[in-house]
Structure 1
């Protein structure tokens, strides 16, 4: 989840994020229009980073215009092309949030766009809810299996990193997660989400319940997988990242003093994730 209320400026007003960037709407397999932005990376003459794209999947109640999402994109853009997007029901995207279920189709649309832009390698980096979604998307792509609702995602990735992701659904073990469940499950809570956080939440319960993050991890191999989590995360305690890492062949970074998701990720951590994305399995030291 992305703490704090959102502002309400029109996302298509004013200048683009950068002179080189491109803003567009992507249509998902189930017909939802997703607001997306492409930031070209360094010139190929400076190391060939243009062959790599990082797709950033934000946390619940975030969107591509949030300052911390833009900060992460700016750090990643020093090494790769970057695609940010707003999940359905968030910001200027259409539809309603299903809090991690159909959002896998939003990631698939962003990854497919990266391929169509000509990137040879595509890495997904997800935060919180976005972390759970990129795990499910990678599992579907690596195993060639169908998603629960809409068939093949059709968008394979070359590596995946999940930051501050839950291991299992319906977790209510912390006060922030109990507040989140109230917002998602109660009519009054969904009004708070809509007008306080600029997030439109679907009222229907999951049917069927999607594959959980921890069930997804074993299906991701041989795609390189990185799990990142803060030891001061107020949403998900350390049993979540440890359970995820133990479920498959994943690299685990437990970050001392770090809180939750993109807000808590330092520029140094984002840079290490970008280095890992360039050379998965080298612990961000390349």
Structure 2
């Protein structure tokens, strides 16, 4: 391996991920170190980079994230990263609050690499974060040029499905946080939100004129279809309700990833 200092980023070549990939450690505006991976466009040169935001308990190295990155690299360069408290990143997960800073750091890194156009796609928790990021970072160097939220919640504190009740137990119960840390590889902050962050549905009206895509499966065991419909009704966007699809990156098939790549790079 070789490494070099590059501004606020530390770059390491990693041939074991894919040929030409690079791993970096990024620093967020609040000082958290975030691991990130850059995948070059597989078909030549492009001015577009896709920044991919994983779901809760995911990471840049999870097979489902690597699969999505490989598929999207057929359309553009791809940046994947691990949110704080996940994978090799530092800090603790705030489950969608301060993770906006992690995404902004990844977007800035993509622009530092020379990509004039940077788009974001997020799954589940990552979907809520790309929505809030698109609303809050519109006039900064960390802004996005198009955004797609997949399997995202519309509102906070939802406990209407058994799957979400289990997630809330992991987040809020001391034993659940131990399971999260040692069983799921996710370090969770034990403090309540203060203040409560802007919700995804509140963020949507603030995103236009940035192109927005909402994608959701009609068999999602975490968030039923009233969530994407609520998001779509809140502002200007395109809505894809996918028949037979479950939840987030584990449920996204190759055909959908191909359509997603086309949408992200043509908007």
2:246 paired with 1:259? yes
Structure 2 partner of 1:137? 133
1:85-140 per-position Cα deviation (integer Å, ceiling 9, x unaligned): 00000010000000000000000000000000000111100000000000000001
Work out whether residues 16 and 22 of structure 1, in 8 Å CA contact, stay in contact via their aligned partners in 2.
no
Structure 2 partner of 1:4? none
Aligned match for 2:72, one of 60, 72, 76: 76
Structure 1 partner of 2:17? 17
Q: Distance in 2 between matches of 1:256 and 1:25?
A: 38
| Residue aligned with 2:64, SS | helix
Q: Distance in 2 between matches of 1:154 and 1:89?
A: 24
2:96 paired with 1:100? yes
Q: Distance in 1 between matches of 2:141 and 2:175?
A: 37
TM-score norm. by structure 1 comes to 0.87
Unaligned runs of 5+ in 1: 1-11, 145-152, 281-286
Q: Distance in 2 between matches of 1:179 and 1:42?
A: 39
Q: CA deviation at 1:18?
A: 1.2
Query: What CA RMSD, in Å, does the superposition of the two structures yield over aligned residues?
Result: 1.2
Structure 1 partner of 2:180? 193
Aligned match for 2:198, one of 200, 211, 215: 211
2:258 paired with 1:277? no
Q: Distance in 1 between matches of 2:166 and 2:137?
A: 33
2:227 paired with 1:248? no
Work out whether residues 98 and 201 of structure 1, in 8 Å CA contact, stay in contact via their aligned partners in 2.
yes
Which consecutive aligned stretches of 4+ in structure 1 deviate over 4 angstroms post-superposition?
Answer: none
- Larger fraction in strand: 2
Structure 2 partner of 1:183? 170
| Residue aligned with 1:34, SS | strand
Unaligned runs of 5+ in 2: 1-11
1:232-254 per-position Cα deviation (integer Å, ceiling 9, x unaligned): 00000000000001100010000
* Count of residue pairs brought into register by the alignment: 255
TM-score norm. by structure 2 comes to 0.93
Aligned match for 2:124, one of 124, 128, 148: 128
| Residue aligned with 1:122, SS | strand
| Residue aligned with 1:209, SS | coil
